[in-house]
């Protein structure tokens, strides 16, 4: 069954519900109040469930309609219509048009791989960001931390799902994998799941039920299989992955919003080869909360955690309380995020150049002092 026909049948069944037909999609009193000015203009509300080639599928009280986004095509790629948006649509006409969309409560944004480093919005108005990681291949904790930084920055609550747990023969090994991921994701639920056998699906459904969740992860991580298991039908195409590295071709090519049978909605996304940060300083801080807490105890407020005296971060590192890998990952993501922000912030670029010069001068002075001591 195609995603569009699945959505149409789901929407038709909702029309007999005693509640508002859009309630299962997340419509509530606050959205209704925000939409009031557009109701007065004769427009109708709907949630965007798919976007492609300047058009989108929108579920409204009357069912799924096709609408053109020509009136909402700004130069800023972060303001284009996105899956998950609540749109104001023409009540009729051919073609119908999206006239605007309501301000987003949350937005999952990444940096594109282009040289311009533009932001790309992946999903809007999401309550939970499900980071999908395969337990059948070697864990890449740095990539997990990267996904988490974007998830926290979006405003959504992250959840990590270790898929393909059935391919790990020893339950003790699964437990160790969970612990390893938990060490890189403080405060984030880590759930081992077998989409094939259904193990752990009830726990995940209970965590994300009632809101909107987005699936995020690399190709081959098992996102589409997990989506099908949660949806209770083969709504998403699935292809086999290579045994040697667990990688697979993209099986999802667009972002689709579908209703979960137990309540809530799910947005599946294409596998992400690159996950660049986009102004995610706050998200990085939440992923590495323990480092930021230590940094607050450093003697100098601008401590680089390298050779400065009274550095609480280095002290924790030397005492074995902070893994070197965590600190290096923290530094890498901070540097990357700073570069992205600096490209759009002239004042910050000037501050970064000033800081580079200051550190360069300090390094030269230290080298000169060392040379003088050897004379």
221 annotated binding-site participant? yes
Residue holding tokens 């986004």?
69
224 annotated binding-site participant? yes
What is the phi-psi region of residue 290: left when phi exceeds 0, alpha when psi lies from -120 to 50, beta otherwise?
Answer: alpha
Question: CB 345: neighbour CB atoms within 10 A?
Answer: 14
128 annotated binding-site participant? no
237 annotated binding-site participant? no
In 3-state terms, the chain is what percent helix, strand and coil (to 5)?
Answer: 40, 20, 40
β partners of residue 162: 133, 192
Q: Which residue intervals of 56-187 are DSSP H helices?
A: 141-154, 171-184
56 annotated binding-site participant? no
Tell me which H or E stretch contains 124. Answer: strand 119-124
Tokens of 108: 């999952």
| CB of 125 closer than 8 Å to CB of 105 | yes
Residue holding tokens 């799924």?
64
82 annotated binding-site participant? no
DSSP state letter for 276: B
63 annotated binding-site participant? no
Estimate the crossing angle of helix 223-231 against helix 201-208, to 10 degrees.
80
363 annotated binding-site participant? no
The residues, ordered by sequence, that sit 6+ positions from 176 with a Cβ below 8 Å of its Cβ are none
DSSP state letter for 77: G
Phi, psi of 248 (to 5 degrees): -145, 170
Q: CA–CA separation, 131 vs 149, rounded Å?
A: 11
DSSP state letter for 85: -
218 annotated binding-site participant? yes
111 annotated binding-site participant? no
319 annotated binding-site participant? no
Binding residues for GTP, by number, are 163-166, 217-225
Please enumerate, by residue number, every residue annotated as part of a binding site.
163-166, 217-225, 298, 303, 305, 311
**Known binding-site residue numbers for Zn(2+):** 298, 303, 305, 311
């Amino acid at each position: 069954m195609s995603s569009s026909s699945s959505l149409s049948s789901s929407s038709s069944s909702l029309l007999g519900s005693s509640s508002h037909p859009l309630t299962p999609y997340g419509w509530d009193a606050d959205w209704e109040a925000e939409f009031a000015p557009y109701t007065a203009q004769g427009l109708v509300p709907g949630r965007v469930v798919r976007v492609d080639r300047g058009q989108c599928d929108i579920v409204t009280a009357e069912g799924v309609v096709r609408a053109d986004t020509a009136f909402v095509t700004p130069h800023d790629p972060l303001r284009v219509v996105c899956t998950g948006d609540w749109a104001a649509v023409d009540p009729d006409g051919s073609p119908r048009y999206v006239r605007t969309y309501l301000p987003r409560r949350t937005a999952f944004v990444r940096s594109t791989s282009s040289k311009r480093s533009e932001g790309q919005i992946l999903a809007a108005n999401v309550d939970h960001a499900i980071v999908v990681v395969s337990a059948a291949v070697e864990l890449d904790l740095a990539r997990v931390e990267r996904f988490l930084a974007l998830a926290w920055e979006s405003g959504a609550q992250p959840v990590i799902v270790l898929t393909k747990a059935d391919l790990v023969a020893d339950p003790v090994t699964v437990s160790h994998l969970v612990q390893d991921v938990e060490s890189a994701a403080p405060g984030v639920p880590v759930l081992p799941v077998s989409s094939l056998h259904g193990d752990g699906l009830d726990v995940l459904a209970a965590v994300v039920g009632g809101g909107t969740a987005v699936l995020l992860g690399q190709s081959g991580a098992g996102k589409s299989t997990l989506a099908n298991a949660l949806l209770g039908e083969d709504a998403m195409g699935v292809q086999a992955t290579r045994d040697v590295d667990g990688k697979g071709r993209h099986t999802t090519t667009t972002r689709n919003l579908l209703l979960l049978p137990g309540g809530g909605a799910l947005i599946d996304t294409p596998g992400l080869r690159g996950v660049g940060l986009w102004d995610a300083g706050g998200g990085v801080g939440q992923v590495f909360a323990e480092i930021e807490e230590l940094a607050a105890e450093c003697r100098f407020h601008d401590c680089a955690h390298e050779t400065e005296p009274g550095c609480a971060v280095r002290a924790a590192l030397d005492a074995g309380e902070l893994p070197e890998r965590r600190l290096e990952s923290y530094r890498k993501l901070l540097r990357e995020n700073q570069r992205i922000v600096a490209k759009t912030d002239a004042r910050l670029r000037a501050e970064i150049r000033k800081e580079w010069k200051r550190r360069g001068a300090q390094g030269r002075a230290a080298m000169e002092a060392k040379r003088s001591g050897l004379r």
